[in-house]
C-alpha cells in the first residue's frame, strides 16, 4: 500500500507508487489518493476519525442504555432482544453491499452514503411513536452506523501496514475509554429530563457534524489526485443497458443476492420461531433454514465456477486462517451477547458495569497492538493469552450468573472478558487481512463482521428464548399473590421491575 509522501522527483512531480491494475476502480482510487497526500493530511484524517469514534462510542453506549426503556415505553420490554436480533442480521448482511460500493465507486462515496443512512435512522428513532417504528428505525441506524464504523476500519487498513494495523485501530477506537463513563449520566439525564427522543435528535446533528469533515478531506484529496491524473479514468458506458451490465458484473450482483438472501433467511428463524405455535418444528421455520442453507451453498458454487468477478475469491473461502478468524469472531460475539445480563438498580450503574468490557478491551487492544508492532507476530498473543483468558472469563460468568452472587464476582468476570476481547479483536482482524491482498480488504473485513453479527444474533436469540420462555413462568411462581394482577406489566416494563 502506498504511503503518504512530501517528496518530489527531478521533474517536480510527486512520487507515485504504481496502482494495482487488476483491482477494482474504487481500490485504485484510494491507492491514488494515498500517493498525493502528505503525512500532515494523514494525521488530520486520524484525528478526525478519533473524533468520529468518540461520537459513535457515546451514541452506542447511550442507545444500549436507553433501549430497554424505549421498548418499555411501548409496553414491549420483552421485544428488546428481538429488535437487536433483526437489526444485527440486517447490519451484518448490508456490510457486503457497502464493501462493494467502497470497491467499485470509492471510499468517500461509500462513507457519505453511510452518514446519510445513519442520520435517517436517528431522525426516525427520535420521531417514532410505536415499537414497530422504533424497530424499523433501528435497522436504518444499525446499517448506517455499522457501515460508518466499518468504512473507518477499511480506511485504517488502507493507510497502515499489517504490522501496524492493530495498533492504529486500537488508538483510533480509544475514545471508548472516555465515552463509556459519559453514556450512563447522559442517558439518565435525558430519561429524567426532556425524554429519550431528544437524545437521538441530538445525535442526528452530532454524527454528520463530526463525520462530514473527514469525507471532505477524503474527497478533496481524491479531486487532487484526479487533477494530477493519478486516478485512473472510468470507462464510460454508451447506454443504460451497458451501464447496468457493467455494474452488475462489478458488484457480482448474483453473488451478493445469493449471500445476502441466504444469510438473512438462515438467521431469521432464530427470531421467528418463538412466534410459531410449533416452534422449531414449524414448516415456516424449517423452510427458511433449508432455503437459507441452499442459497449459501449456491453462493459458494457461483463464486467457484461462474462468477466473472468474484465477490470473495474461492481460495480465500478455503483459507484456514480466514476460516479461523471468522469462527473466532462468531464465538466472541455469541458468548458476549449470550451471557451478558443486567441486574443493577439504575441505568447509570448498569451502563458502568456494561462498559467494563469497553475500557478493558481498549486498553488491552492498545497493549496487544504495540506488542505485535514490536514483535511482528500475532499468533502467540492470541493463542497464549487471548483465548485462555476468554474461556476463563466466560466460564466463570456462566457459573456466577446464579441469584445471590456478589456483584464483585460478575465484575471480575467482565474484566477477564474485556482483557481477552481487546486482544482477540486485534488478532482476529490481522489474521483475516493477512490471508488476502489489498484488493480484498473491504470484503474480508465485511466477512469477519458478518460472522460477528451472526454470533451476536444467535447469542441474543438465546437471551430472548430465556426471557420469553423462562422469565414469565419464574415470575408467576415467585411473585407474591397480591402482585399477580401486575404480572404482565412487570414482565413488559423494566421501570416497573426496578421499582
- Domain extent listing, the chain: 25-230+239-252+308-498, 253-307
The secondary structure of 295-315 as a DSSP string is HHHHHHHHHHHT-SS-SS-HH
Q: What are the tens digits of pLDDT across the range 446-477?
A: 888 888 877 877 777 777 777 777 777 877 88
> Which DSSP symbol is given to 402?
S
Residue 181: band (very low, low, confident or very high) from pLDDT cuts 50, 70, 90: confident
Contact status, residue 250 vs residue 77, Cβ threshold 8 Å? no
- pLDDT score of 11 more than 50: no
Question: Mean pLDDT over all residues of the chain?
Answer: 79
Q: What are the tens digits of pLDDT across the range 413-442?
A: 888 888 888 899 889 889 888 877 777 788
Is residue 249 classed exposed, middle or buried when 0-12, 13-18 and 19+ CB atoms within 10 A define those classes? middle
Q: Name, of 9-23, 146-160, 217-231, 301-315, the range with top average pLDDT.
A: 146-160
Contact status, residue 169 vs residue 150, Cβ threshold 8 Å? no
Contact status, residue 351 vs residue 334, Cβ threshold 8 Å? no
Nearest 5°: the CA angle 87, 90, 96 is 140
Question: Strand, coil or helix: what is 485?
Answer: helix
Q: Could you give the angle at which helices 162-172 and 356-375 cross, rounded to 10 degrees?
A: 150
Residue 354: band (very low, low, confident or very high) from pLDDT cuts 50, 70, 90: low
What value does the CA radius of gyration of the chain take, rounded to a whole number of Å? 23
CA distance to 41, 118, 225, 240, 255, per residue, from 12 (Å)? 20, 43, 15, 41, 45
Residue 51: band (very low, low, confident or very high) from pLDDT cuts 50, 70, 90: very high
- pLDDT score of 10 more than 80: no
Which alpha helices (DSSP H) does 162-195 contain, by range?
A: 162-172, 176-192
Check residues 270 and 80 and name the one with the higher pLDDT: 270
Reading the block at residue 369, the C-alpha cell is 497492538
* pLDDT value of residue 9: 39
Contact status, residue 270 vs residue 88, Cβ threshold 8 Å? no
What is the assigned CATH class of domain 25-230+239-252+308-498? mainly alpha
Amino acid at each position: 500500500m502506498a504511503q503518504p509522501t512530501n517528496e518530489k522527483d527531478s521533474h517536480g512531480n510527486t512520487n507515485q507508487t504504481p496502482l494495482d491494475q487488476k483491482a477494482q476502480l474504487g481500490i485504485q482510487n484510494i491507492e491514488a489518493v494515498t500517493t498525493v497526500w502528505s503525512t500532515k493530511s494523514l494525521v488530520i484524517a486520524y484525528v478526525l476519525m478519533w473524533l468520529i469514534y468518540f461520537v459513535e462510542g457515546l451514541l452506542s453506549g447511550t442507545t444500549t442504555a436507553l433501549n430497554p426503556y424505549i421498548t418499555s415505553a411501548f409496553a414491549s420490554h420483552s421485544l428488546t432482544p428481538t429488535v437487536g436480533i433483526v437489526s444485527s442480521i440486517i447490519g451484518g448482511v448490508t456490510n457486503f453491499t457497502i464493501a462493494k460500493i467502497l470497491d467499485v465507486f470509492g471510499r468517500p462515496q461509500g462513507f457519505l452514503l453511510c452518514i446519510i443512512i445513519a442520520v435517517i435512522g436517528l431522525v426516525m428513532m427520535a420521531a417514532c411513536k410505536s415499537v414497530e417504528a422504533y424497530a424499523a428505525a433501528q435497522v436504518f441506524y444499525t446499517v448506517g452506523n455499522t457501515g460508518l464504523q466499518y468504512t473507518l476500519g477499511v480506511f485504517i487498513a488502507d493507510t497502515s501496514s499489517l504490522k501496524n494495523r492493530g495498533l492504529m485501530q486500537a488508538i483510533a477506537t480509544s475514545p471508548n475509554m472516555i465515552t463509556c463513563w459519559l453514556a450512563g449520566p447522559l442517558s439518565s439525564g435525558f430519561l429524567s429530563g426532556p425524554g429519550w427522543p431528544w437524545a437521538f435528535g441530538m445525535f442526528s446533528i452530532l454524527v454528520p457534524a463530526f463525520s462530514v469533515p473527514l469525507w471532505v478531506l477524503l474527497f478533496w484529496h481524491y479531486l487532487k489526485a484526479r487533477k494530477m491524473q493519478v486516478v485512473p479514468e472510468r470507462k464510460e458506458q454508451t447506454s443504460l443497458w451497458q451501464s447496468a451490465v457493467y455494474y452488475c458484473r462489478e458488484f457480482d450482483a448474483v453473488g451478493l443476492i445469493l449471500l445476502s438472501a441466504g444469510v438473512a433467511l438462515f438467521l431469521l428463524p432464530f427470531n421467528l420461531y418463538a412466534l410459531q405455535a410449533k416452534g422449531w418444528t414449524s414448516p415456516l421455520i424449517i423452510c427458511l433454514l433449508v432455503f437459507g442453507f441452499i442459497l449459501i451453498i449456491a453462493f459458494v458454487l457461483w463464486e467457484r465456477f461462474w462468477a466473472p468477478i468474484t465477490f470473495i475469491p474461492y481460495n480465500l473461502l478455503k483459507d484456514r486462517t480466514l476460516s479461523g478468524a471468522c469462527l473466532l469472531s462468531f464465538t466472541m460475539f455469541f458468548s458476549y451477547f449470550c451471557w451478558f445480563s443486567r441486574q443493577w438498580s439504575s441505568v447509570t450503574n448498569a451502563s458502568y458495569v456494561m462498559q467494563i468490557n469497553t475500557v478493558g478491551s481498549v486498553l488491552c487492544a492498545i497493549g496487544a497492538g504495540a506488542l505485535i508492532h514490536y514483535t511482528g507476530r500475532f499468533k502467540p498473543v492470541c493463542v497464549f493469552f487471548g483465548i485462555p483468558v476468554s474461556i476463563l472469563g466466560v466460564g466463570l460468568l456462566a457459573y456466577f450468573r446464579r441469584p445471590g452472587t456478589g456483584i464483585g464476582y460478575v465484575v471480575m468476570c467482565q474484566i477477564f472478558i474485556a482483557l481477552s476481547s481487546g486482544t482477540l479483536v486485534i488478532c482476529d482482524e490481522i489474521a483475516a487481512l493477512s490471508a488476502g491482498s489489498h484488493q480484498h480488504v473491504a470484503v474480508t473485513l465485511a466477512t469477519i463482521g458478518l460472522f460477528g453479527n451472526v454470533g451476536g444474533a444467535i447469542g441474543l436469540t438465546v437471551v430472548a428464548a430465556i426471557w420469553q420462555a423462562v422469565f414469565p413462568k419464574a415470575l408467576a411462581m415467585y411473585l407474591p399473590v397480591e402482585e399477580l394482577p401486575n404480572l404482565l406489566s412487570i414482565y413488559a416494563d423494566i421501570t416497573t421491575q426496578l421499582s
